[in-house]
């Protein structure tokens, strides 16, 4: 840090097992990746190439190398996994992970119907090859999964070998964990937390108010995802109580605060 | 493409006559243009320097050269044309196009009142000099043009020599083709399409939901405009059915989809 | 300017005492700062490193040097001042300003309770060291300060030595001068202007509609703040009547306008 302030919450350090920030790259150019990393490497634990943007991104190998040289692991969005599965090309997908030398992969069913056993089987197979992030929640605003089902899916997917479970929100933060307005489904989150350790969940939370809500509930070291590259620094200040929204959260009655 | 997937709709290739993506640059620096082009040249057919931003953009000649070297044609936003016309400086405008060696120009009446004959006369005059894009629709949210009038204007402007007609939406996507909420004026679009070939229209559609709506209606190769530079790659995935929103659109019943 | 148009309002030139544009940098990398400045230096008078982002920004000294070399003064957001004050580290804050060789500082009470005398005393102390910008308005959406109180605070803070008063809006433009919807508190602004010269106030106005409203009310050379880097060029066109929103504002009945 550039100077010393008291009452700053302790942050986990890289390589982090929790307190993770997962950033979504939806098509940065190579120099834009360099710009982003030059500023945010310390605060970013994982980068997702959003949905199937990797299909159309030029210079993909070169781009992955920039991330690799900075020590920031990259994975392809779950929609790409689904695009291969729906086309009966799962074996191609496994080869693809090797071709691009990826260490992480996401298993999701945000756009397709997949029964729980099949999903867990995909997780088991990929676990032998990479570290698996498994996503729960639909991208369809109209498809509401009840809390007990979220919990059941999360438990099964962790048992099948998933390293972390991702709570779906999309780039916009308007489905899955959130209402169409972006408001958190508070009861859902609280019920999940009665059964699943917070450290095992990465909450997609692209909107600032969503990030603030989770930091207030779960502290500086909550795992958050779908952060846009330009928001990595702002998010770090929210975690540390250095933005208006969480300013008083870590001060324990120091002085007089709004 | 970086890998092979079945069931990907065929895209037209550059130089495209339809399936166009028109991007709005509202003040990128030269290096930002380079970054954008390094990633998106294959997916971008036209760049508009938004409204009259060219008036205040430093290093304009140098910037235009970067686009030219990449083979991406640039034109000045229609508001600039109107700014010259309202000041009785149309001849200056014609000289300006030559000074900057532009091959395209936009004729519009989004901010001024112009009768149809005058507008068509401007189109005719400019057609001798450059390729003309003609825009229909007001920037004034309160000024609703009825569908029959859109059609009449479009027909007259195509006859006067316009290469394509642009459907107005502004940078925000909240006027012209869309309601203030961003919702598509569906009846308007459908009525236009009964009379004007889709290939002749570039639909300004800055919001993702708007892009999705047009791709679902008119397919992968619909002409779309006012795309922000960072959305060129995401839009390409929407066109190809590789984002959640259009994921099932090109699959023809492959497997089980939400 | 790149070409000549009549009826362009006169803009003040740098170093400006009014007609200021204050841009918020919330974590740009060094190359991003270079990109921004290469395009916008002429239109930017002050840069604020938003809230306490300077705490976590890598290469801070190098970044400040890029701004300094371009002749653009930088100051740290008021939330950082408050973070030091609430921790009883005000002396550290004063040293910090020297360490980073800053010529400007912001005094604010957006996140903490501070009585007027204490705030004015901070202004007086800092005035001996730097040029002080003093901010009025709460970051708390629920805390509405009545107009007479805004005026009383502004007067006292100017008397205490503040160079300019900043009207609070946050990054989003949804508190202070504005309603949660972003709508201007028109009565508040008008009442303030009966007592405080417009030149002494920097209105935070991050949303385009807010910028347009102030330019229409107070002209091309109104002081505006919390502009995002990518909006510096668009704002300049709004000031000059070269965007649809202010297109007719400076034309005095030239021709026929919507």
In CATH, what number is assigned to the domain containing residue C154? Answer: 3.20.20.70
Return the pLDDT at A143. 86
Which pLDDT score, from 0 to 100, does residue C152 have?
A: 97
CB pairs under 8 A between B and C: 108
Q: How does DSSP classify residue A42?
A: G
Q: Return mean pLDDT, chain C.
A: 96
Interval C183-197 mean pLDDT: 97
Confidence of residue C57 (pLDDT cuts 50, 70, 90): very high
Does the residue B10 lie in any domain? no
Name chain C contacts of B122, Cβ cutoff 8 Å: none
Tell me, yes or no, if B11 comes closer than 8 A to chain A by beta carbon: no
Considering the domain boundaries, does residue A149 fall inside one? yes
A112 contacts chain B (CB < 8 A): yes
pLDDT at A144: 87
Q: Where are the alpha helices (DSSP H) in chain A?
A: 30-40, 60-69, 78-86, 90-99, 116-127, 147-159, 186-193, 208-218, 232-239
Paired residues of A203 in beta bridges: A167, A224
B216 touching chain C per CB within 8 A: no
Confidence of residue C253 (pLDDT cuts 50, 70, 90): low
Average pLDDT over residues C196-205: 98
Q: Per the structure block, which two tokens stand in for A69?
A: 């040289």
**Are A111 and B5 in contact (CB < 8 Å)?**
no
* CB-closest option in A1, A2, A256 to C112: A256
**Record: contact A40-C27, CB cut-off 8 A:** yes
- Residues A7-41: tens digit of each pLDDT: 999 999 999 999 999 999 999 999 999 999 999 99
**Of A50, A96, A114, Cβ closest to residue B3:** A96
Per this entry, what is the length of chain C?
258
Determine the distance in angstroms separating the CA of A183 from the nearest CA of chain B, rounded to an integer.
19
Chain C residues with beta carbon closer than 8 angstroms to that of B87: 5-7, 254-255
B31 touches chain A (CB under 8 A): yes
B59 neighbourhood in chain C, CB within 8 Å? 38-39
Number of H helices and E strands in chain B, helices first, is 9, 8
Is residue B137 within 8 A of residue B107, CB to CB? The reply is no
B42, A57: Cβ pair inside 8 Å? no
Tell me the residue range of the domain where A214 lies: 21-246
* Across C124-133, average pLDDT: 97
pLDDT digits (tens, 9 = 90+) for C145-172: 999 999 999 999 999 999 999 999 999 9
As given in the structure block, the two tokens for residue A155 are 């438990």
Residue C3 forms contact with B (CB below 8 Å): yes
Q: What is the mean predicted confidence (pLDDT) over A185-197?
A: 97
CA atoms within 13 A on the CB side of A211: 31
DSSP, residue by residue, chain C? --S--SSPPP---SSPSSS-EEEEESS--HHHHHHHHHHHGGG--EEEE-TTGGGT-TTHHHHHHHHHHTT--EEE-HHHHHHHHHTT-HHHHHHHHHHTT-SEEEE--SSB---HHHHHHHHHHHHTTSEEEEEES-S-TT-PPPHHHHHHHHHHHHHTT-SEEEEP-TTTT-STTB-TTS-B-HHHHHHHHTTS-GGGEEEE--SHHHHHHHHHHH-TT--EEEE-GGGHHHHHHHHTT-SGGGTTTTSTT-S-B-
Domain presence at residue C252: no
Chain C touched by A66 (CB under 8 Å): no
Q: Does C1 touch chain B (CB under 8 A)?
A: yes
CA A125 – CA A127 distance, rounded (Å): 5
CA distance B1 to B13: 13
Burial class of residue B52 (count of CB atoms within 10 Å of its CB; 0-12, 13-18, 19+): buried
pLDDT tens, residue by residue, B57-83: 999 999 999 999 999 999 999 999 999
Residues of A in contact with C112 (CB under 8 A): 247, 255-258
Residues in chain B: 258
Look at residue C1 in the predicted model and tell me its pLDDT. 87
- CB–CB of B86 and C243 under 8 A? no
In this complex, do C83 and A5 lie within 8 Å of one another by their Cβ atoms? yes
User: Residue A253: which pLDDT band, with cuts at 50, 70 and 90?
Assistant: low
The rounded distance, in Å, linking the Cα atoms of C230 and C242 is 17
- Give the Cα separation of A43 and B188 in Å (integer): 48
Non-local (6+) Cβ contacts of C38 within 8 A are B29, B30, B31, B58, B59
> Is the residue at C12 inside a domain?
no
Question: Does residue C255 carry a pLDDT above 80?
Answer: no
The answer to whether residue B52 neighbours chain C at the CB level (below 8 Å) is yes
- Whole-angstrom Cα distance, residue A220 to residue A224? 10
Listing DSSP states for A169-201 in one string gives -TTTT-STTB-TTS-B-HHHHHHHHTTS-GGGE
DSSP codes joined into one string, C70-135: TT--EEE-HHHHHHHHHTT-HHHHHHHHHHTT-SEEEE--SSB---HHHHHHHHHHHHTTSEEEEE
Cβ contact, residue pair B112, C34, below 8 Å: no
Give the per-residue pLDDT at C138: 87
The predicted pLDDT at position C87 comes to 97
Residues of chain C contacting residue A242, judged by C-beta atoms under 8 Å apart: 51-52, 55-56, 79-80, 83
pLDDT recorded at residue B256 = 61
- Give all chains having 3 or more CB-to-CB distances under 8 Å with chain C: A, B
Instruction: Name the closest residue on chain A to residue B239, using Cα atoms.
Output: A56
Q: Do B112 and C6 touch (CB under 8 A)?
A: no
pLDDT of residue B257: 60
**Cα atoms in the 13 Å half-sphere on the side-chain side of B143:** 16
In a domain, C8, yes or no: no
SS3 of B139-175: the string is CCCCCCCCHHHHHHHHHHHHHCCCCEEEECCCCCCCC
The 10s digit of each residue's pLDDT in A94-137 is: 999 999 999 999 999 999 999 999 999 999 999 999 999 999 99
Domains held by chain B: number:
1
DSSP string for A54-82: GGT-TTHHHHHHHHHHTT--EEE-HHHHH
Per-residue model confidence (pLDDT) at position B103: 98
Chain A with chain B: Cβ pairs closer than 8 A: 107
- How many whole angstroms separate alpha carbon B209 and alpha carbon A126? 33
- C251 lies in a domain? no
Q: Which residues of chain B have pLDDT under 50?
A: none
Phi-psi region of C162 (alpha: psi -120 to 50; beta: other; left: phi over 0): beta
| Strand stretches in chain B, DSSP E | 21-25, 46-49, 74-76, 104-107, 131-136, 164-167, 201-204, 224-227
Q: Does C50 touch chain A (CB under 8 A)?
A: yes
Residue C210 CA to residue C207 CA, distance in Å, equals 5
Token digits for A140? Answer: 């369809």
Dihedral sign, Cα of residue C46, residue C48, residue C54, residue C57 = negative
> Is some CB atom of chain A closer than 8 A to the CB atom of B61?
no
CB count within 10 Å of CB C68 equals 14
pLDDT above 80 (res A72): yes
Q: What percent of chain A has pLDDT over 90?
A: 94
Spatial strand order of the sheet with C104-107 comes to C74-76, C46-49, C21-25, C224-227, C201-204, C164-167, C131-136, C104-107
Give residues with Cβ within 8 angstroms of B95, minimum separation 6.
none
Residues of chain A found within 8 Å of residue B237, distances taken between Cβ atoms: 51-53, 55-56
Both structure tokens of A95: 């080869």
Predicted pLDDT of residue B96: 98
Determine, yes or no, domain membership for A258. no
Answer whether C219 touches B (CB < 8 Å).
no
Tally of CB atoms within 10 A around A23? 26
User: What separation in angstroms does the CA of B160 have from each of B91, B125, B155, B199?
Assistant: 19, 9, 9, 17
Residue C144: band (very low, low, confident or very high) from pLDDT cuts 50, 70, 90: confident
**Which position has the higher pLDDT, C215 or A141?**
C215
Give residue-wise pLDDT tens across range C67-112.
Answer: 999 999 999 999 999 999 999 999 999 999 999 999 999 999 999 9
Contact between A27 and B41 (Cβ < 8 Å): no
CA atoms of C141 and C200, how far apart (whole Å): 25
């Amino acid at each position: 840090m550039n100077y010393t302030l008291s009452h700053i919450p302790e942050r986990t350090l890289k390589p982090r097992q929790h307190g993770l920030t997962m950033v979504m790259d939806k098509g940065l150019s190579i120099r834009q990746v360099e710009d982003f990393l030059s500023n945010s490497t310390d605060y970013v634990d994982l980068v997702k190439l959003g949905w199937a943007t990797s299909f159309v991104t030029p210079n993909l190998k070169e781009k992955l190398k920039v991330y690799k040289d900075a020590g920031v692991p990259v994975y392809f969005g779950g929609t790409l996994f689904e695009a291969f599965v729906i086309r009966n090309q799962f074996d191609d997908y496994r080869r693809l992970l090797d071709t691009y030398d990826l260490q992480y992969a996401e298993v999701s069913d945000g756009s397709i119907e997949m029964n729980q056993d099949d999903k867990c089987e995909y997780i088991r197979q990929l676990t032998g090859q990479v570290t698996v992030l498994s996503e729960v929640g639909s991208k369809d605003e109209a498809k509401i999964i009840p809390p007990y089902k979220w919990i059941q899916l999360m438990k099964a997917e962790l048992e099948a070998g998933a390293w972390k479970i991702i709570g779906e929100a999309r780039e916009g933060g308007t489905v899955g964990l959130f209402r169409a307005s972006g408001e958190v489904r508070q009861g859902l989150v609280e019920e999940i937390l009665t059964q699943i350790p917070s450290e095992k969940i990465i909450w997609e939370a692209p909107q600032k108010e969503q990030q603030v809500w989770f930091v207030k509930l779960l502290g500086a070291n909550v795992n958050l995802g779908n952060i846009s590259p330009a928001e990595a620094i702002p998010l770090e200040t929210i975690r540390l109580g250095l933005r208006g929204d969480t300013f008083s959260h870590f001060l324990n009655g120091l002085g007089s605060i709004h």
